[in-house]
Structure 1
């Protein structure tokens, strides 16, 4: 039976080997957890391993942004919620929020631009009709769910230029 919840959810626990010298989740592992959550999304839209192999299709990450909002300690349970912000015939713009049981606000937020690829090239390829239909259904379900705004969306990194002070 397909998952009918509007958010794609990934759950894990902070492992000892992911913790840095400050006793916090090392920065690279936030992105690892987001990557695992993106894998759950990829499976949810029908691109499981068997389908990827049979069709010579996959998803590549074109860009990723991470906002580190609060530290997480070893053994903390984590949940990553994923939603699709936008999509076209071959790309997905996704938003991810990471939570722990101890907080109802995210400990991290991120965005990724994903590209559907024909791996025989490799080259960008339009989603197959069945995958596109699943994406549309997921986007519609997320739209109807009245989810909170993607608060950390489209943040830029930078300092003011010297002339702007």
Structure 2
């Protein structure tokens, strides 16, 4: 059975900006919280990180906004593990309303860090095993055009 890590949230009043929709910074806070929850569930909780003197850093991120969210809207965030190795995870998250319409996507590269050295280090074995298992069991989707998308304005000449 394919199972995708999913979190449900609702747009709260403190997340609303001057344009009367969810502030762009809140999307990224929510995506970060979902990744933290995923890590916690898969063996890399904050107490476990303290015990191991280990953590993960975000080294790259890209968010694409497709539709706006407004006060009171409920939405789901789905987390997919696009790729990984012994010290990096490449996550792709999508935020959906009505379990079908994608409103925002977030692509994140995370790096495992030995906190005593402040340097990249392999994942703890139990976490690596957990993400390998997740990668095989997650829902298989067609990767959207937002994955790997680079930002830019096409040059039109002078």
1:110 aligns with 2:99: no
CA–CA distance in structure 2, aligned partners of residues 74 and 27 of structure 1: 14
Counterparts in 2 of 1:45-84, with a 5 A limit?
A: 45-84=42-81
Contact 2:2–2:140 (8 Å) recurs in 1: no
Task: Output the TM-score relative to the length of structure 1.
Answer: 0.88
- d(CA) in 2 for partners of 1:84 and 1:28? 23
Gaps of 5+ in 1: none
- Between the aligned partners of 2:66 and 2:147, the Cα distance in structure 1 is 13
Deviations 1:90-140 (A, max 9, x none): 000000000123x62211011000011111121111012111111110011
User: What is the SS of the residue equivalent to 2:101?
Assistant: coil
* 1:133 counterpart (126, 129, 141): 129
Segments of 4+ moved more than 4 angstroms: none
Partner of 2:39: 42
Q: CA separation in 1, counterparts of 2:15 and 2:106?
A: 19
- RMSD over aligned Cα, in angstroms? 1.7
Q: Count how many residue pairs are aligned between Structure 1 and Structure 2.
A: 158
User: CA offsets per residue over residues 39-91 of structure 1, 9 Å max, x none?
Assistant: 12211321012211110111110011000000100111121100100001100
- Equivalence for 2:149: 155
| Aligned partners of 1:90 and 1:115 also within 8 Å | yes
